[in-house]
Structure 1
Amino acid sequence: MKFGVLLDHQYPIGEDIGRRTGELVELTQHVRDLGFDSLFGIHHYLASLSTPQPLPLLSRLLEHTGTMQIGTGILILPLGHPVHWAEEIATIDQMSGGRFVLGIGSGYREDEFSAFGIDRRKRVSRMNESLEVMRKLWTGEPVHHEGQHFQLDGARCSVLPVNEGGPEVWVGANGPIGIKRIAGQGHSWLSPSNVRRNWAVGNLTDYRQHLREAGHDETGMTFPIHRDLCVADSFDDAWRIAGGPVRESYGEYVQYGMDYFDSQWEGIKHKALFFGSPDDIAAKITDFADAGFNHFVFRVQWLGLPIEESMKILERFAHEVMPRFRA
C-alpha cells in the first residue's frame, strides 16, 4: 500500500509565487520525512487561479523528495507536442533517477484548447497519438511517424528516460469508454478525487475485467486514486477545519461548466471526501483497498487553508493512520 500527496499549487492572482514555492519546499520536506511514497503536481493553463507549471515546479522540489516517486497528476497531454513532452519528461526522469510517474489526461477546459488552436473534440485521439509517439521516441531510435495529428521524419530523442520504455503511465478518465480504452492500452487508470465510493469501486472492477480481456497481466500494477483528506477528531471537526476551503476550491470548477460540483455537493461531501477521525480514514482506506486500489494520493491543500493546517493533517495521517497499513 502506497500513500502520496497531490500538491494543490493554485493561488489567487497576484500571489508571490517565489514565497509560495518556498512553502512547497517545506511541505515536500515534511511529506518526505513523514514517510509518504509519492508527490504529484497539477497542470492547467490560463486558469482563474495562478497555477505554476508542474514540470519546473517539480524540478525545483526534486532535491527535497528523497526516494519518493514524483509525477504529474495530471499533465494535459493534448495541449503540447509529443517531441516537447518526450524530452521534458525524459529530462526530469533522468534528474530523479527514474522516479517519475507520468500522469496524463485529455483535459476539459475550452479556453485552454482555444488558446492553443486545438480542436477540443479531438483531444482524446491527440492524447493517445502523443503517447504513442513519445513511446517511439523513448526507444532512442529515429522515429518515422505519419499520424492524424503528428508527422515525424527520422526524429530522434536526445534525452532518454532511465528505464526502457519510459516512466510508469497513469491515465485519468471519468467515464466507462475512457476507462475501457485505458485498460486496453495496459496503462494504470487514475480514479478522480470527486467521485463517490460506489462509482470508483464499480469502475475499478470493470477496468480490471477489461485488462484481463485485453490480455494484460495486472501483477505488480498500480491502481491509483485521488482523494481529499482531512484527519481530525471527527468528521464534524474535519469539516470545521477544512470544509470552507475545500468547498471554495471545488467551486472554482463550476465556471468551467462542471455544475456537478454545485448540484451534487452534498453527495461529494459525504461520499467522496476522506474527512474524519483516524479510525474513519483507516476504514475508508481498507474499504477501497479491498476493492483493489493500492496507491492513495491525497490532497490536503485548498484555497484559504493555511499551509500549517495542511502539515497538521499530514502529521496525523502519518502518525495515526499510515502505520496500520505498513508491514
Structure 2
Amino acid sequence: MPRSPTATGWWRRTSGSATAARKKRREPAVKFGILLDHQYDPGTDIGARTGELVEYVQHIRDLGYDSLFGIHHYLSSLSTHQPLPLLSRLIDHSGSMELGTGILILPLGHPVHWAEEIATIDQMSGGRFVLGIGSGYREDEFASFGVERRTRVSRMNESLDVMRQLWSGEKVTHHGQHFDLDGVRCSVLPAQDEIPVWVGANGPIGIERIAKQGLPWLAPSNVRRNWAVGNLKDYREHRAAAGFDDTGATFPIHRDLCVADSSEEAFAIAGTAVQRSYGEYVQYGMDYFDSQWEGIKEKALFFGSPDDIAAKVQDFADAGFNHFVFRSQWLGMPIEQSMKIVERFAREVMPRFRS
C-alpha cells in the first residue's frame, strides 16, 4: 500500500535522512552482532543489571560490532527485562549499531500495540531497528494471555501484515481471522522506508514458510552445524523457487561464543554457565538440552581459540550465513568475563573478515 505524500510528508523527510545515512556506511560482507542475555536469577536487582548492560553495550559499540539484540519472554522462571524498554534505554549508548529483537513473540500482543511501539523505537534510534519475530512455544505464556497456542503462526503472520499496513501511513481497514480495524491510522511511523523483519523457526515447515514470504530466516543457536547448514540450503532453494533474489539478502544465525586460548580453556571459563542457561529450557519441555547436551556442546557452540572460531565463522559463511549474532552472557557468569570474550573476538577474529 503506497504512502500518502501529504499525510506522511514529515515521515518521508525523516526516512530519507535515515536511509541516506545507512547508504554512506560501507556494509561488510559478514556482520557480527551481540545477543544480550538479560535473564538473571529471581530477585536480581534489575536496575543494577541495567547499568551493567549499558557498560557492556558501550564496550561492544567501541569494538566495532554491527548489531545488538534483546530477547523476549513473559512469566519466566528468571528475572528478565522486557526488550523494547531495554533497547530504548540503550539507544544513546549503541552508536550506529542496528538494534533489534531476537526474537519478539508477536502472537502475544496486538498488532496496533506492536506497530506503534516499534515505530517509536525506530524513530528514536534514527532508523536502526531490526524486528526479529517468532511464534513462541511456552504454554504458560499463551494460557496467561488467553491466546490459543495452536493459532500462534496465523496470528504472527496476520499481525505482521496489519503492522505493515499501519506503517504505510494510510488509514487501515482490516477484517481478518484474529484482528479487526476500521479506518484507523498509526500515530507514529518508522524512520525507515521498511523495517527489516527476521523470522525465527526451528523446523522445516516453518523455514519453508519464511522462505516463501521472502523474509530472512533467523537460524537458532542451539542446533548442530549440519542441521543449520542443511536447512539454510533448503531455505535458499525455497526462496529462489518463490522468485526471491539473494542479492543483498540477510542470512542471520545465533551462536554462543567464548574465545580463549583453547577449547578446553573456553569450556573452563563458560561451560558451566552456558549449560546452566540451556538447562532452564528443560522445564518448558525441551529436555533435549539435557539428554543431547554433549552433541550440542561439541557441534553447536563457538567455543575455542581465535583460530578455532575463525574457522567456524568461515565454514558457516561459506555455507551462506552472513550475519552472526553471538551470545557471550550466561547465568552466573560475571559481565566482566563477557566483556573479555567479545573484546577478544573483536581484536583477534573480526579483522579477518573485514576488508
- TM-score class, shorter-chain normalisation, is over 0.9
Question: Which amino acid counterpart does residue 88 of structure 1 have in structure 2?
Answer: E
Determine the structure 2 residue equivalent to 1:156: 185
1:185 matched to 2:210? The reply is no
Determine the structure 2 residue equivalent to 1:277: 305
Determine the structure 2 residue equivalent to 1:73: 102
1:88 matched to 2:129? The reply is no
Determine the structure 2 residue equivalent to 1:196: 224
| Structure 2 residue matching 1:221: 3-state secondary structure | coil
Determine the structure 1 residue equivalent to 2:346: 318
Question: Which amino acid counterpart does residue 285 of structure 1 have in structure 2?
Answer: V
Cα displacement (A) at 1:202:
0.3
| Structure 2 residue matching 1:123: 3-state secondary structure | helix
Cα displacement (A) at 1:168:
0.3
TM-score, normalising length: structure 2: 0.91
1:252 matched to 2:286? The reply is no
Cα displacement (A) at 1:53:
0.2
Q: Which whole-Å deviations, capped at 9, do the CAs of 1:1-46 have from their partners, x for residues lacking one?
A: 1000000000111111110000000000000000000000000000
Question: Which amino acid counterpart does residue 154 of structure 1 have in structure 2?
Answer: G
User: How far, CA to CA, are the matches of 1:260 and 1:152 in structure 2?
Assistant: 42
User: How far, CA to CA, are the matches of 1:83 and 1:63 in structure 2?
Assistant: 26
Determine the structure 2 residue equivalent to 1:63: 92
Unaligned runs of 5+ in 1: none
Cα displacement (A) at 1:205:
0.4
| Structure 1 residue matching 2:64: 3-state secondary structure | coil
| Structure 2 residue matching 1:4: 3-state secondary structure | strand
| Structure 2 residue matching 1:253: 3-state secondary structure | helix
User: How far, CA to CA, are the matches of 1:36 and 1:168 in structure 2?
Assistant: 18
RMSD (Å), alpha carbons: 0.5
| Structure 1 counterpart of 2:235, from 195, 200, 207 | 207
| Structure 1 residue matching 2:80: 3-state secondary structure | coil
Cα displacement (A) at 1:155:
1.4
1:121 matched to 2:153? The reply is no
1:232 matched to 2:268? The reply is no
Question: Which amino acid counterpart does residue 221 of structure 2 have in structure 1?
Answer: S
Number of residue-to-residue matches in the alignment:
326
Cα displacement (A) at 1:147:
0.5
User: How far, CA to CA, are the matches of 2:148 and 2:54 in structure 1?
Assistant: 37
User: How far, CA to CA, are the matches of 2:248 and 2:255 in structure 1?
Assistant: 22
User: How far, CA to CA, are the matches of 2:290 and 2:159 in structure 1?
Assistant: 34
Cα displacement (A) at 1:218:
1.6
TM-score, normalising length: structure 1: 0.99
